[in-house]
Amino acid sequence: MVKPVHRDRAIYVVAGEVEIIGRSGSFGEAELILLESGVEVVLQAPAFHATRLMLMDGEPFSEPSHIYWNFVSSSAERIEQAKADWA
């Protein structure tokens, strides 16, 4: 069971397969599942199958993020500095 403690939640399937009770279909290896905010989720793995998951949750950042390639920061100036350092 994944409780709705934080607004932003996701599940990454590392290995195996998982189903979300109440949703059709299943999710397999290397899939990222974004969960609906405020809704409790019940997971089920197929019988006799090893499944490994990574559960992620957290509060959103208080300020907007700037993204360029693989650089992420709350400061546009830091992004520019990272780009210059990379060159």
HSE (side-chain half, CA atoms, 13 Å) at 76: 1
Q: Determine contact, residues 1/44, Cβ cutoff 8 Å.
A: no
Instruction: Dump strand ranges (E) for the chain.
Output: 8-15, 17-20, 27-28, 32-34, 43-44, 52-58, 66-68, 71-73
* Nearest alpha-carbon partner for 38 in 2, 4, 9, 3: 4
Would the pTM of this model clear 0.75, i.e. be above it?
no
Tens of pLDDT, residues 13-67: 999 999 999 999 999 999 999 999 999 999 999 888 899 999 999 888 889 999 9
